[in-house]
Amino acid sequence: MNSLQDMFDPRQFRASGHALIDLLADRLADSLAGQGKVLQWRAPTTEDRRWQQPLPQMPALATAELLEKLRDDILPAGLAIHHPRNLGHQVAAPLPMAALCDLVAALTNQAMAVYETGPAATMIERQVIRWLNELIGWQGADGVLTSGGAQANLTALLAARQQTAGWDIWQHGTAAGPPLKILASEHAHYSVARAAGIMGLGVNAVVKVAADDQGRMDLAALAQAHRQTAANGARILAVVATAGCTPTGSIDPLQQIGTYCREHGLWLHVDGAHGASALLSKKHSAALRGIALADSVVWDGHKLLYMPATVSAVLFRKPEHSYSAFAQEASYLFQGDSSSDETFNTSYRTLECTKRMMGLKLWAAFSLYGVQAMGELVERVFATARLLADQLQAAEDFELLMPPQTNIVCFRYRSGNQAALRQDLVESGAFHLTQVKLGETIWLRTTIMNPFTAESDLDALLTSIRDLKA
Ligand SMILES: Cc1ncc(COP(=O)(O)O)c(C=O)c1O
């Protein structure tokens, strides 16, 4: 039996920690070198059978056995996120130093809900928020870190609702006024519709605005949707533009949408979960021109800021809006008075009460590498995506959906069932990629997240698809 001392023993922590880091460093080295499979595919039902152990009443593993199990069983059964042929989802190949900072967050467990449960964590988060706002081009703005872009979108839309409804909707609910609508591109992330559902508006409150053939919100369609919604007697809660939409990575025309929203007094929310990181690059930031016209912006760290999941920023141009989403009094936390110290209690502004110390890893990455090197990571993956697009365009047996605006490339192999091709490729462990249905057509979809993905990996992807079909 383990004694209390054993369970918290700092010496044991030190020794196991060194061993664990060795093991992870080996895994990182292998993955970056492209060794082994991207994914050791096993059907979920098969994998599920391996995880049916009885609940241990007494120790079932020694620490050394836990490490062995991690090395031999658990890590190999995961997706090798740093593998250069991992081209699937918009999930960062995290910076190792950022991952180490997450270990700090885990052990020190700075709960963040109120300032005194994490004074340094609170200040680091505020620092990171100021930096991100500076990159947007905002001065005196505010915001907060939260767990994931979906939750960040909900938080921004809750704030927008409180500001734009025209009555105290937090207090009196949705039934106390006219219907509220959200105008968003047909390619907006599903979390926007989910936010409408959570807010009690119904998912039909999201009016889908058509996109052009490059996946960008069509301005005439936005104006038409606006007129129609107003004519129906509904009020517009927000216009949601996307910088880096999920299916194709397209960036809505933020300058024009922002100007339109300003002219018509509409709240503009920019979901930049994926694409806001283009702001780090002098070469690509122009694609986001107009983002500063937004009222709120969401920006995921665990996408193109190369952070371990999760860390997302929800940012507000007007600092007071950062307090609009969750307007209730939580007196047991905030002790009721309106002293300015209360503004340092982040849970006033997030769905989470306790939350992880998320700012440290971002603060460390910006401090260690600077905007320039972080921007180069973005530039590399954007350039690799363009290279892949060029290769696809040059190959007669492939069809490119559109030139990439970010790092997402969609394409089809001209013969064969795309879904079956993808499944075969994923199960082979040679590549990981996704698929997307646009209209009635299924496209293969790659997201280049890894700056080490090379031209030879792209060549191999095309060859593997051809070989599968052969
Ligand atoms: C445009 C966009 N918004 C929001 C999200 C949701 O972000 P998260 O997965 O961090 O909750 C995604 C996820 O892929 C996304 O692509």
For residues 422 and 444, the answer to whether their CB atoms sit within 8 Å is yes
Q: d(Cα 36, Cα 50) in Å, to the nearest integer?
A: 22
Residue 323 domain flag: yes
Encode the chain (470 residues) as per-residue pLDDT tens digits: 579 999 999 999 999 999 999 999 999 999 999 999 999 999 999 999 999 999 999 999 999 999 999 999 999 999 999 999 999 999 999 999 999 999 999 999 999 999 999 999 999 999 999 999 999 999 999 999 999 999 999 999 999 999 999 999 998 999 999 999 999 999 999 999 999 999 999 999 999 999 999 999 999 999 999 999 999 999 999 999 999 999 999 999 999 999 999 999 999 999 999 999 999 999 999 999 999 999 999 999 999 999 999 999 999 999 989 989 997 654 444 444 445 688 898 988 999 999 999 999 999 999 999 999 999 999 999 999 999 999 999 999 999 999 999 999 999 999 999 999 999 999 999 999 999 999 999 999 999 999 999 999 999 999 999 999 76
Domain contains 88: no
Structure tokens at 22: 């060795």
Distance 400 CA to ligand 1 centre (A): 24
Indicate whether 434 belongs to any domain: no
What's the whole-model pTM score?
A: 0.97
Whether 82 is covered by a domain: the verdict is no
Domain count, the chain: 1
Whether residue 188 is contained in a domain is answered as yes
**Is residue 378 in some structural domain?**
no
Q: Which of 192, 154, 161 is nearest to 179 (CA)?
A: 161
Is 274 close to ligand 1, i.e. is its CB under 6 Å away?
yes
CA 8 to ligand 1 center in whole angstroms: 37
Residue 246 structural domain: 103-365
CA 445–ligand 1 middle distance (angstroms):
16
For residue 320, what is the domain's CATH number? 3.40.640.10
CB-CB contact of 295 with 313 (8 Å): no
Q: Is 155 close to ligand 1, i.e. is its CB under 6 Å away?
A: no
Which residue has tokens 């952070």? 307
Pairing of strands 235-242, 180-185: parallel
Residue 312, ligand 1, Cβ within 6 A = yes
**Residue 242 falls inside a structural domain:** yes
Q: Is residue 209 part of a domain?
A: yes
